[in-house]
Chains A and B, each alone.
Chain A
């Protein structure tokens, strides 16, 4: 029998309390316990970046964290990027407009990573953005439109400040 623990945290601003197996990683917890399947699981060993979420504002790979380690934390997933009224995050709008996704598998990790990165680096240029997403693998787009979308979103975010 695997050991369990009760944890409480906020996910996209909502308080949640659950009993979890201590060996459950955060990505599985978000998908299977909370039902937020926007967080994608590609490799489960920290290479692809698809599972990136924000934990207390910092972009991290949710497959490399145990759910119990998020006890007490504030977690934001891709589902939490848009405003409650449905207004998309500037990055989401820019990905849409610039065709920054094809199959969409990498997209949640791209969006959460870039949301945190642009928050901290509002004046990021193209090399900065390429470095920021160097840990996020996309098998479809060739990255070009992702970078274009990120640069455009950075501009919109700067203007909105």
Chain B
């Protein structure tokens, strides 16, 4: 079991990458390889060209500029896990990363790879959804930005033409004091989530919800934002009833069913995990509330 023959390209600059993408057909982009390499080894995919992104320094930046966190596509999951910037500005991403595979796979796996592979149950796309991330794409027709809401076209299909590459993303961290939480349920540690929930919540001076963001992975083919609940709880004082109401909205989501888990079970998990994650985020936001 090993990959079928392919032509290997390892461009050193973004311009070279774009040049190659404009010329080759049936190519696969290789970032951390934690999803593509298994598919190559098992010959689920038989590309004529493999274009390795790992030797392009322009794709591995991680910095804050103009209030945005800019993350290059080949930044490793392990680097995000250790980053002081992410710890300070976006700790919920690190909480989610603790659930992504194992430390050995995080040493290779990249954020761009997770977002491009777009497994329905992958954790990092849920974080991108939570922050309404903007994704940066490059190709022979130039660069374009894609809002995360427009990123997933369908099952494991990002908004990316065959000759384009995801080169990075930007997140807007919340400036105001807030609480965050990520919780998931998986059958074994390191497995993809059956359902995962990420929450951000900021409270106003009176202890009411100023704004909230809630995203779920695993429930549908792509991450889902619970926008109706986010709107419903704005301006409201958190209470057990409010949490129950939000959980009920999560339970009404259309959910996938597969050979392991029924849609009804996913809906139950969505409700329970949403309630718990929101309660945890509220507690971390420091509100003196009754939940």
- A complexed with B: yes
Residues of A within 8 A of B (CB): 1-3, 5, 21-25, 28, 44-46, 49, 52, 58-61, 63-66, 68-69, 113, 117, 131-132, 134-136
B39 to A, closest residue via Cβ:
A45
Q: How far is the CB of B76 from chain A (nearest CB, A)?
A: 9
CB distance B107 to A2 under 8 Å? no
Q: What residue of chain A has the Cβ atom nearest to residue B9's Cβ?
A: A22
Q: Which residues of B contact A (CB under 8 A)?
A: 1-8, 10, 30, 33-34, 37-38, 40-42, 50, 52, 54, 78, 101-105, 107-108, 188-190
Complex interface: chain B residues within 8 A of A3 (CB): 5-8
- Chain A residue, CB-CB nearest to B5: A2
**CA of A135 to CA of B40 in the docked complex: distance in angstroms?**
20
Interface centre among A25, A28, A61, A65 (most CB of B within 10 A): A61
Q: Is the CB–CB distance between A25 and B8 below 8 Å? A: no
Q: Are A23 and B2 in contact (CB under 8 A)?
A: yes
**How distant is the Cα of A63 from the Cα of B78 in the complex, in angstroms?**
19
Report whether over half of chain A's contact residues are helix, strand or loop; otherwise say mixed.
mixed
Which of A5, A28, A68, A113 is B104 in contact with, Cβ under 8 Å? A113
Q: Which residue of B lies closest to A49 (CB)?
A: B104
The answer on a CB contact under 8 Å between B102 and A134 is: yes
Which residues from chain B contact A63 at a C-beta distance below 8 Å? 37, 41
Complex contact A44–B105 (CB within 8 A): no
B2 and A25 contacting across the interface, CB-CB below 8 Å: yes
A64 with B2: CB separation less than 8 A = no
Partner of A44, one of B41, B107, B108: B41
Of all chain A residues, which has the CB nearest B109? A64
> A65 to chain B: which residues have CB within 8 Å?
33, 37, 108
CB distance from A29 to the nearest CB of B (A): 11
Would you mind naming 25 contact pairs between A and B with Cβ atoms under 8 Å apart? A3-B6, A3-B7, A3-B8, A5-B8, A23-B4, A25-B2, A25-B3, A44-B1, A44-B41, A46-B34, A49-B104, A59-B104, A60-B108, A61-B104, A61-B108, A65-B33, A65-B108, A66-B37, A66-B52, A68-B52, A69-B33, A69-B54, A134-B190, A135-B105, A136-B102
The chain A residue with its CB closest to the CB of B101 is A135
Q: Is the CB of A25 within 8 A of B188?
A: no
Give the Cβ gap from B130 to chain A, nearest Cβ, in Å: 24
- Cα–Cα distance between A65 and B33 once the two chains are bound (Å): 7
A64 touches B101 (CB 8 A): no
Contacts of A132 in B (CB 8 A): 103
